[in-house]
Amino acid sequence: MSTTLEKMFAKAKTENRAALIGYLPAGYPDQKSSVKIIKSMIDGGVDAIEIGYPYSDPVMDGPVIQAASEEAIKNGAGAKEVFELLRITAQHKVPAMIMSYWSPIEKYGCANFAQMVAKMGGSGVITPDLTVEESADWHRESIKNSIDSIYVVAPSTTDERLSKVTANCSGFIYAASLMGVTGTRDAVSGNAKSLVERIRKVSNTPVAVGLGVSTKEQAREVAKYADGVIVGSAFIKIVQEHGSGRSGLKKIKQLAKSLSEGVRDAR
């Protein structure tokens, strides 16, 4: 069975480009605005959307995403908002995923969570802090509900571990380009390229690079060697600086368009 993510990466490949994936926490800055922000990203050319499950103790997130998560939680965002946004995003005919730490999934119930993702038209779930050793139940439920389970690998991941983790990934492999936390960087770490090369030796699953991409130039750079480019903080920064009214949404769309041109110019 080919998933919507597989189809998206296959389509990007035939167009000789990388896919562009946008990230936003559900309910940021509030639920109504998050729907509009995602629509603007898609209108600007984003190929797939990652919806963040707002979490109070995000180990992997930098200050920008952390602040956005806190604001979303303050405005009452929880499971209901996450699934609602997933459903609305999937209706735009793009792959929609949830990115969630393990704790909220466990609390919701592993089987129930996987069922809801499938029911809302979601393509998969990214679990940054779930190890393959502890994921047997989740993996089984993902397969049962035909959704992709996406794990995160980092430059510090050993070769042995890399083949183990990537063997359990479907949809794509999330390559964290640097040690530490998410956020926009002046330059995307050189570690990203060597990490992608290492993954290619052990897996044929598409690889998307996240953490640090914020400009057209960086997107172009990463798109030369990765199958997907993930952008989160840069979109959130626009909302922090310009709000989510008309001018903010226009800037979101402009950034998406520019990043989208970047991933298309790369090869």
Known catalytic residue at 47: no
Known catalytic residue at 50: yes
CA angle 65, 230, 189 (to 5 degrees): 85
Are the beta carbons of 229 and 18 closer than 8 angstroms? Answer: yes
Name all contacts of 87-92 with Cβ < 8 Å and 24+ positions apart.
87/120, 87/121, 88/35, 88/38, 89/38, 89/42, 89/49, 89/51, 90/120, 90/121, 90/122, 90/123, 91/121, 92/38, 92/39, 92/42
Tokens of 61: 């997130």
Q: Between 110-119 and 79-90, two packed helices, what is the crossing angle to 10 degrees?
A: 30
Q: Name which of 98, 111, 224, 102 is nearest 171 in CA terms.
A: 98
Catalytic residue among 6, 15, 30, 50: 50
Catalytic residue among 6, 61, 81, 227: 61
Q: Tell me the catalytic residues.
A: 50, 61
